[in-house]
Structure 1
C-alpha cells in the first residue's frame, strides 16, 4: 500500500496548530495569541507583495533576454504558497510560510525539485519557426512589385460590390454621414 503524503498533512497540520495555540495561548494569553496571528497575516501580505513584484521583474528580465524563467516561475509558486500559508491562521503554517519567503530556503527546494519539473515554451508562430539560421524560409516566395497582380474576387462577401448589394437588401437608412 502506497503512503499518500497529502492526507497525512491534512491530519497532522491542524493537530499541530491546535497544540501550538493551546501552548502559546497558555503562556501569553488569548488576546496576545490572536494579535500575533493577525500580525503575521499582515506581515505576510506585505512580504507577498514586495517579493512578488521583485520576482515579476526578474521573470520579465529573463523573458526579455529570451531565456526560460524556470527557476523564477518555481520561486513564484513558492512565494504564492508562502503567502497562503501566512494568511492561514496558525503558528505552524506561519513558520512554513516565513521559511518559503527566504530565498536561500527556496533555492534548496528548487535544487530538490528542478529535475522533476519540465518547462515547455511556445514560439511566436504556430508550429514553430520554419526559418533556419539565415532567417529565410524555404516556403516563402519573395516577389517584386512588378511580379504580381491584385485581382478582386466578385463572389467574395468582402468585395465592395457584394457589400453594397447586401446593404441595399437591409431595411432602414444605410447612408453614411457625408455621402
Structure 2
C-alpha cells in the first residue's frame, strides 16, 4: 500500500520498504530456525523445547511487571499534568518487546528482553525517538506548505519573514478587520 508523497502529485511513497519486508518475513524466520536447530543439537530437543517454554514464561512475567510499572508512571505523569512522552515510549517498547517474546525462537526473544528491561530500554527509547522525529518532522510543515505542496524556499513553510515569504504575512503581522 502506498500514499502520494508530498511535493509531486504523481509520485508514490511506500509505507514499508521492500527490503524490510524481506528481512522480516524471510531472513528472520530462517535465522530463528537455524538458531533453534543449533541449540537443539547442543543441548537436545527436549531441553530446547523446555528452554523455549521457560523463555516465554520469563517474557510474560517481565511484560506484566514492567508494563505495570509503565502504566503507573503514565498515570502519575497525567495526574501531575505533564506530558508523558517518556512513559508512552516505555509503554510502546514494552508492548513491542512482549510481541517479540511471543514469537518462537531465541533471537527475537533476546531483542524483546532488551526492549523490556528497564536498564536497556533507554537505548530503545532514543532509537524510537529518532524514528518518530524522522517520520513526523516533515509532517509538521505540511499545514504550512506553499501552493507547490512543499515547504517554502526559506525553510519555514512560507510563514516566516525570511528572504522569500510567498506573499504571506510573517510572524509579526496579524491579519484582521478594524472595527470602530
TM-score, L = length of structure 1: 0.61
Q: Indicate which of 112, 130, 137 corresponds to 2:127.
A: 112
**C-alpha displacement at 1:3, in angstroms?**
5.4
Higher relative contact order (CA 8 A, sep 6+): 1
* Counterpart position of 1:90: 105
Query: What does the per-residue CA deviation read over 1:150-176, in whole Å, with 9 as the maximum and x for residues that have no partner?
Result: xxxxxxxxxxxxxxxxxxxxxxxxxxx
Q: Which moved more, 1:4-13 or 1:14-23?
A: 4-13
Alignment of 1:33-52 (within 5 A): 33-52=48-67
Structure 1 segments of 4+ aligned residues over 6 angstroms from their partners: none
Residues 1-179 of structure 1 mapped to structure 2, 5 A cutoff: 4-115=19-130, 116-117=132-133
SS of the residue 1:13 aligns to? helix
For structure 1, list consecutive stretches of 5 or more residues without a partner in the other structure: 119-179
Q: 1-side partners of 2:31 and 2:62: how far apart?
A: 24
Name the CA shift for 1:97/1:113 in 2 (closer, same or farther; >3 Å): closer
User: CA–CA distance in 2 between the matches of 1:73 and 1:30?
Assistant: 40
Moved more, 2-11 or 96-105: 2-11
User: Partner of 2:34: helix, strand, or coil?
Assistant: helix
Count matched residues: 118
**What 5-or-longer segments of structure 2 have no aligned partner?**
1-16, 137-180
- Give the whole-Å Cα distance in 2 for the aligned partners of 1:90 and 1:34: 10
Larger of the two Rg values belongs to structure: 1
User: So what's the TM-score if we normalise by structure 2?
Assistant: 0.60
Specify the SS of the correspondent of 1:6: helix
Matches of 2:119 and 2:65, distance apart in 1: 17
Render the CA deviation track for 1:119-170: whole Å, top value 9, x for unaligned: xxxxxxxxxxxxxxxxxxxxxxxxxxxxxxxxxxxxxxxxxxxxxxxxxxxx
